[in-house]
Structure 1
Amino acid sequence: MIEATNLYSYYGKSPVLQDVSFSLRQGELLSVLGRNGVGKTTLMRSFMGLTDKLEGRLTFNGQDITRMRTDERARLGIGYIPQGREIIPRFTVRENIVMGTYARTDGKRVLPELVFELFPILKDFIDRRGGDLSGGQQQQLAFARVLAMDPKLLILDEPTEGIQPNIVKQIHDVIVRLNREFGLTVVLVEQNVPFARAVSDRFVVMDKGRVAISGTGADLSDEVAERHLTF
């Protein structure tokens, strides 16, 4: 479904990603791991065309998207939840979710029942402003907004960072369900190695803007984690 070949991604004139290559088939889950500051978020932003320049080749379902605009990528079905969630605080829960539907190509502006099945609290808070929600509830809202676009690929940048433990488990369960039950392809930046090992079809570990090691979920051993992920 997605293939990166010799990617270089820049902020200004400085390459943050250097010669990054990997591929992911439809329905698979890829975990991206690494210490802080090694290029994980830049890789996620590169999928969406949010860096200053991207060289190499990035394809989605066989189509070259390397130089596509962000909105064009979204309309192809690439959904993205960034660090910080970036919900619109003055919009209600309903309005935030509807914002996701504007990436749809069928013109539908409906709130999917699936989001309320996955996150029942959002139905109770449907007319509450997004900025009045807790951090964990805002993350649930970010998931609801991206699911409203009916994505084919879901890109998640540390979706459980800074949220309360009970919602961490819920978010992890939702990711697994979306991937396993609904067949969504997922690219996930994740610091929880046991979780990544359990759910990943494939993983890559980033270091200094490059892929240091990659493999299947079963290859993500404690020795690999100790060598590449501890400080």
Structure 2
Amino acid sequence: MTLLDVVDLDAGYGDLQVLYDVDLTVEAGEYVAVVGPNGAGKSTAMKAVFGLADRFDGSISFDGEDITGLAPEQVIRRGLSYVPQTENVFPSLTVEENLRLGAYVEDEVSEDRKRAVFERFPVLEERLDERAGSLSGGQQQMLAMGCALMLDPDLLLLDEPSAGLAPDLVDEMFDRIDAVNDGGTSVLMVEQNAKEALRRCDRGYVLASGENRYEDDGEVLLTDEEVRQQFLGG
């Protein structure tokens, strides 16, 4: 079943158009990666889906419902959660306070969902009463993902989850994303580490200059000579 369907999307910011006729789909339970060079429009595509970029044309539907033009607070209620690349936690608040804010659209914070987050990210329970700003970069990224998962979304949008992490933490972050997907949450991820993203995902898209260039299974794109030479460094 198609969960997310983006068709002929033109998007950008104000008078600046960044995306041109971009198509993206995510099936239920699927793990999809979007890769490409800097300035390709990858993050803009993610923001457009979540209502954070201006959409000029095209359509976005989620679980069969047209969500084109909805604001983020409306999108999140449909079952999508989004983790930005930067400034994705409140550093002056505790880990617990951040998690509670992750579920802000709920009338009551679900202890079961919090427990599920702790099972995926045990360090968050260990540091529950500490300020988020005291966590390492990797732990802050886990907290940001934990906040997004507090609403038990059908689709998790991740924007450059490995950005800024020490090399020895990158594999751990990808392992945790794998586990989230294995638990039944669909994932749409924009990622600078293109080779690892394509190695891990079910299916991938390559964007360049705001347009679709390639789409295929992750392993197929990873071994495609043209894709490797143009976008993966050979």
Helix, strand or coil at the partner of 1:169: helix
Shift in CA distance, 7/171, structure 1 to aligned 2, threshold 3 Å? same
- CA-CA distance at 1:164 after TM superposition: 2.3
Question: Equivalences for 1:31-50 in 2 at 5 Å?
Answer: 31-50=33-52
| Matching residue of 2:123 | 121
- CA-CA distance at 1:85 after TM superposition: 4.5
Helix, strand or coil at the partner of 1:150: coil
Helix, strand or coil at the partner of 1:226: helix
| Matching residue of 1:96 | 98
- Asked if 1 retains the 8 angstrom alpha-carbon contact of 2:52 and 2:72, the reply is yes
Once the two structures are aligned, what percentage of the paired residues are identical? Answer: 39
Amino acid at match of 1:178: V
- Asked if 2 retains the 8 angstrom alpha-carbon contact of 1:205 and 1:211, the reply is yes
Q: Deviations over 1:137-174 (max 9, x none)?
A: 11111011111111110011110111123432221111
Query: What is the count of residue pairs matched by the alignment?
Result: 228
Q: What is the aligned-residue RMSD (CA, Å)?
A: 1.7
Helix, strand or coil at the partner of 2:5: strand
- 2:39 pairs with 1:9: no
- 2:162 pairs with 1:160: yes
- C-alpha distance in 1, partners of 2:180/2:30? 11
Question: Equivalences for 1:186-225 in 2 at 5 Å?
Answer: 186-220=187-221, 221=223, 223=225, 224-225=227-228
Helix, strand or coil at the partner of 1:159: coil
Unaligned stretches of 5+ in structure 2?
none
| Matching residue of 2:230 | 227
| Matching residue of 1:137 | 139
Helix, strand or coil at the partner of 1:168: helix
- Asked if 1 retains the 8 angstrom alpha-carbon contact of 2:195 and 2:232, the reply is no
Amino acid at match of 2:144: A
- CA-CA distance at 1:122 after TM superposition: 1.3
- C-alpha distance in 2, partners of 1:179/1:54? 31
- C-alpha distance in 1, partners of 2:5/2:35? 18
